[in-house]
Amino acid sequence: MAESGRSRLVPAGAQTVLDLIDARVRDQPDATAIRTPGRTLTYAETAQATSRLADRLRRRGVGPETIVAVHLPRGLDALIGMLAVLRCGAAFLPLAVDDPGRRKQEVLADAGCLLTLVEAPVDWTSQVELVVDPEPADRLENRDGDAARLPSPGEPRPQELAYVITTSGSTGRPKVVGIPHEGILNLVLASILELDLIRPDDTILWTTTLTADITVHDCLMALCCGATVAIPDRSELPIGRIAATARELAATIVDLPAAVLGPYGRSLVPRLAEAGVRLLLTGGSQLDGDGFADHASLVVANGYGPTEATVAVTWYSCTDKTPAWVPIGSAFRGVRLYVLDEELAPVPQGQSGQLYVAGVCLARGYLGLPGRTAESFVPDPFAPTSGERMYATGDLVQQNEDGDLVYRGRIDSQVKISGYRVELGEVEHAVRDCPGVVDATALLRTDAPGGAAIVAFVVGDSGLGAVVGDRLRERLPAHMVPRHVVWLPELPINALGKVDRAALAALAIG
């Protein structure tokens, strides 16, 4: 789609994603907005369902600068719930349905939630609103264009919160990150106008959990563009069912975590291409593997971004020249990136440094934690105007000759062993490049037999263990070669689609 055509999707003066969604409701009320295995909703029907729930929420006092938790499984109700909260001018907070009640209570308290959207009453909070609309769903109809627009009292301003979301905290208690409307609008506009991540004729398959911030991006960019959100049934979506589900729901875009895609890319990409998928989005951790550009009809786009910077701040499209250690790309509109040393000075090209993010993408901070916010969101000495902030990601990157950033690992994964500093990401990449290895993660284990050691947890053909050892000794300095290799049927993955390092840290080492 030409850029001029994409520009027509953005109404003049749009300040929030609601303005973009309203334009789609006015211009294409009968187009399909949401598709499930048993039902479809048009843009007009989606607008009316959202309006009815928003009206009930407003009567409960929901409005600008209030926060409503969404305690629902991935599904139609969850998407309508998020949209209804936004329509009230409030911010939504996704909650993990399977989390313990006490943890949910802590998150609600830290965020200052007014209300929680639920399917049925729960025992850990009494301030709830049932998501099910009293009016039967089969009575949805497009009565008129004005009703579909969903006018609301006090529409949100760009600096007000759109959503809040949890991220892990060092104390064991999650931090609650507040994201303003201007950040998610900037990402959605970049997705439509600059990155070609969404087109009006696309259907995106909702694969992630409600508590993953990529869900916000995937669903909202589709509805802002006039595309369709395809929602699988409520059960888990195993990797073996992805291609079939994409075909069943006519999906053209699929989003998968890099930790899931990496080991299965060579076998999965051709099946997705055959199913009609044109774009495979990924990110969340280092993408390591090959076969991502083997099919001309399907593009693999690798993104990077911390929760504190509105989902993503870089994108990279794989080509036949992409190395196995896939770059994370470069910044897009509204984002400034700096690669700095410990003195906050820019590092030369090709050297590793910590990545700092600045621009309209930044979160407001950690709700209720001003001290922690000040530690992570620091003054930006490179900003065009005074008073701006930048976020210290804790991630190590380096810029390659093409100007793209390459992720090298976490600063806290840069460990010291035998007097040497070692980036565990480099060890992992070397292990994954060995014959018979499908996937690998490396940890420093202080409880290893014989004392602190690098331990590689490997998925693949354990019969090639000796070959792997020989290859690593050829490629890595002695202090970087894992002393122990633990072969597993698969790596544990957490709810956000990342390798569960805590689970690996608890595994016995033979």
Is pLDDT at 253 greater than 50 in this prediction? yes
The span from the CA of 45 to the CA of 29, in Å, is 8
Tell whether 131 and 252 lie within a shared domain. Answer: no
CA angle, residues 80, 227, 6, in degrees to nearest 5: 130
What is the distance in angstroms between the CA of the first residue and the CA of the last residue of the chain? 56
pTM of the model: 0.87
Tell whether 128 and 42 lie within a shared domain. Answer: yes
Is pLDDT at 172 greater than 70 in this prediction? no
Of 32, 29, 89, 22, nearest to 62 (Cα)? 89
CA angle, residues 338, 195, 294, in degrees to nearest 5: 105
Domain housing 499: 418-505
Q: What is the CATH number of the domain that holds 432?
A: 3.30.300.30
Cβ atoms within 10 Å of 51's Cβ, excluding its own? 18
Cβ atoms within 10 Å of 421's Cβ, excluding its own? 9
**In which band, very low, low, confident or very high, does the pLDDT at 156 lie, cut at 50, 70 and 90?**
confident
pLDDT of residue 57: 96
pLDDT of residue 282: 96
pLDDT of residue 450: 82
Whole-angstrom CA distances from 149 to 12, 49, 71, 123, 416 are 17, 12, 26, 36, 58
Residue for token digits 């790596």? 491
**Which has the higher per-residue pLDDT, 415 or 507?**
507
Q: CA 478, 484, 486, 487 torsion: positive or negative?
A: positive
Tell whether 53 and 24 lie within a shared domain. Answer: yes
Is pLDDT at 245 greater than 90 in this prediction? yes
User: Domain for residue 184, yes or no?
Assistant: no
Is pLDDT at 389 greater than 70 in this prediction? yes
**Could you report the per-residue pLDDT of 207-234, keeping only the tens digit for each?**
998 999 999 999 999 999 999 999 998 7
Is pLDDT at 114 greater than 90 in this prediction? yes
**In which band, very low, low, confident or very high, does the pLDDT at 193 lie, cut at 50, 70 and 90?**
very high
CA angle, residues 167, 338, 495, in degrees to nearest 5: 20
**Which has the higher per-residue pLDDT, 152 or 399?**
399
CA dihedral of residues 194, 196, 200, 206 (deg, nearest 10) = -120
Q: Is 107 left (phi over 0), alpha (psi -120 to 50) or beta?
A: alpha
Tell whether 162 and 24 lie within a shared domain. Answer: yes
Rounded to the nearest integer, the mean pLDDT of the chain is 91
**Which has the higher per-residue pLDDT, 237 or 318?**
318
Q: Give the count of domains, the chain.
A: 3
CA angle, residues 345, 346, 348, in degrees to nearest 5: 130
Tell whether 262 and 156 lie within a shared domain. Answer: no
Is pLDDT at 481 greater than 50 in this prediction? yes
Is pLDDT at 147 greater than 60 in this prediction? no
Of 291, 215, 218, nearest to 252 (Cα)? 218
Tell whether 220 and 322 lie within a shared domain. Answer: no
Lowest mean pLDDT, pick from 96-105, 114-123, 129-138, 219-228: 129-138
Q: What is the CATH number of the domain that holds 150?
A: 3.40.50.12780
Residue for token digits 């053209």? 252
The span from the CA of 92 to the CA of 80, in Å, is 12
User: Domain for residue 128, yes or no?
Assistant: yes
**In which band, very low, low, confident or very high, does the pLDDT at 153 lie, cut at 50, 70 and 90?**
very low
Tell whether 470 and 390 lie within a shared domain. Answer: no
pLDDT of residue 148: 45
User: Domain for residue 190, yes or no?
Assistant: no
**Could you report the per-residue pLDDT of 301-325, keeping only the tens digit for each?**
999 999 999 999 999 999 999 998 9
Is pLDDT at 455 greater than 50 in this prediction? yes
The span from the CA of 406 to the CA of 308, in Å, is 20
Q: Tell me what the mean pLDDT of segment 104-118 comes to.
A: 95
Tell whether 403 and 425 lie within a shared domain. Answer: no
Is pLDDT at 140 greater than 60 in this prediction? no
**In which band, very low, low, confident or very high, does the pLDDT at 19 lie, cut at 50, 70 and 90?**
very high
Whole-angstrom CA distances from 56 to 50, 51, 59, 60, 62 are 10, 9, 5, 7, 9
Tell whether 142 and 271 lie within a shared domain. Answer: no
User: Domain for residue 185, yes or no?
Assistant: no
Is pLDDT at 136 greater than 50 in this prediction? yes
pLDDT of residue 132: 87
CB-based burial, 171-204: b 16+ in 10 Å, e otherwise: eeebbbbbbbbbbbbbbbbbbbbebbbbbbebbb
pLDDT of residue 437: 94
pLDDT of residue 510: 72
